[in-house]
Amino acid sequence: MNYNNYETSYTSYGGGGGSGGGFIPGEGSQSSPSGGRRDFTDSLRPVTIKQIWDAQSTGDEFRIDGATISQLTFVGQIRNLSSQTTNITYKIDDGTGVIEVKQWIDSDEAAQESNDPASKKARLVEDAYVRVWGKLKSFHDKKHVGAQIIRPVDDYNEINYHLLEATAVHLYYTKGPLEGTGARKNAGQALEQQTGAPIYGGENALQGYSAVAKKVYKYLTEAPQSNEGLHQQDIAANTGINTSDVAKAGDELLSGGLIYTTVDDQTWAVLETE
């Protein structure tokens, strides 16, 4: 099931700054002195809110089931929201717990969306079901999620799908490969067969993607770049792919959670896995 089937150009998925999107100054990927590829890896893990509360803090990192997490995603229902000048705080409940989610506001984009009652931002209201992408944070020993992306859930099958996916990944980390032996690679392949979805960043993560999307992803993973990633026009110029085709390929990769937007909707970076 492709639960990230957006009907627009995925501005709600990223939206640098505007919707609190992928790049957060001081928290994003680090570039090497030579401006080459980032020297650490990001992971995107589906979780429940109970798992978030149970996560163990190890300095600046958090661990769930013994594995370090950087990016996480979950589905829940908005129970309360509070708008401030610079951010919106949501209280989100997924049936296993409630947690605060904070998202920064871009005043220019907020003004535009306020005039569009059909926008995704306008649909983020109390009792609405949403999917959140973000990072786990702690302030005065109280955990919250700094949201990069929040979007409404249109297909309610996504709620059950997410819980099944989070369970499958949890069982992998706590029980090991399904056969009891074998490498992480084999376990990942087995989980893909069980859940019908690729394990984020796994070797088979590009199965089912178009040839152009695979080429764009390959270029993003190999090309020298700053911590802001690469703009789609730069990708088009260096790969010889038409700009509109690069944009479509980016939509594919964004919807699959393989890349994220940084400073704007057309600048992308790769979500890498351990």
Which pLDDT tens digit goes with each residue over 136-176? 998 888 899 999 889 999 888 999 989 999 998 898 888 87
The predicted structure's pLDDT at residue 179? 57
Whether residue 126 has pLDDT greater than 60 = yes
Judge contact between 269 and 228, C-beta under 8 A. yes
Half-sphere exposure of 10 (CA within 13 A, CB side): 27
Q: Give 63-103 pLDDT, tens digit per residue.
A: 999 888 888 999 999 999 998 888 899 999 999 999 999 99
What are 24's two structure tokens? 């957060």
What are 270's two structure tokens? 């790769």
The predicted structure's pLDDT at residue 92? 96
Burial class (CB in 10 A: 0-12, 13-18, 19+), 6: middle
Whether residue 216 has pLDDT greater than 80 = yes
* pLDDT average, residue stretch 233-243: 91
Q: What is the overall mean pLDDT for the chain?
A: 74
pLDDT grade, residue 178 (50/70/90)?
low
Identify the three-state secondary structure at position 261.
strand
Whether residue 125 has pLDDT greater than 60 = yes
The predicted structure's pLDDT at residue 111? 56
Range name among 108-117, 209-218, 228-237 with the lowest pLDDT average: 108-117
Domain with CATH 2.40.50.140 in the chain: 10-31+43-154
As assigned by CATH, the class of the 10-31+43-154 domain is: mainly beta
pTM over 0.95: no
Question: CA 54 to CA 33: how far, in whole Å?
Answer: 36
Looking at per-residue pLDDT, the higher value among 95 and 113 belongs to 95
In the chain, what percentage of residues exceed pLDDT 90? 32
Domain with CATH 1.10.10.10 in the chain: 206-274
Whether residue 50 has pLDDT greater than 90 = yes
Nearest CA among 200, 232, 72, 231 for reference residue 136: 72
pLDDT grade, residue 116 (50/70/90)?
low
Task: Indicate the CATH number of 206-274 among 2.30.110.10, 3.30.230.10, 1.10.10.10, 3.40.50.720.
Answer: 1.10.10.10
